[in-house]
Amino acid sequence: MSQRPKAIPTVQIDNAKVLVTEWRFPPGAETGWHRHGMEYVVVPVTGGELLLETPEGERRAPLVLGQSYTRQIGTEHNVINPCDHEVAFIEIELKDGQPHDH
């Protein structure tokens, strides 16, 4: 398997409540396998698509500019940019561990 370039994280806010990270993915870049220890919200800042390698297999997820989505604690995956252009999103991790319904 060829080595993919790494996605580029930039922490924007890290306080008692949230960890906000901008993730930029050059074409073909990946995060590497990881498991989320916090509930989180993703806010796309580009359109495109993500390829998700998960324990259940591969799936694709659209990135729609301005259309946020949330995932639960324990989500485990490798996130890859299969597009021929850069994709990016803001990830907001919720540190208190309480479910949010807003």
The structural domain count of the chain equals: 1
CATH code of the domain covering residue 44: 2.60.120.10
65: in domain: yes
20: in domain: yes
- Does the pTM of the predicted model rise above 0.85? yes
CA proximity to 63, closest of 84, 85, 80, 88:
88
Cα→Cα distances 71→14, 17, 39, 65, 77, Å: 19, 17, 6, 17, 12
pLDDT in tens, 34-79: 999 999 999 999 999 999 999 999 999 999 999 999 999 999 999 9
Domain that holds residue 15: 8-94
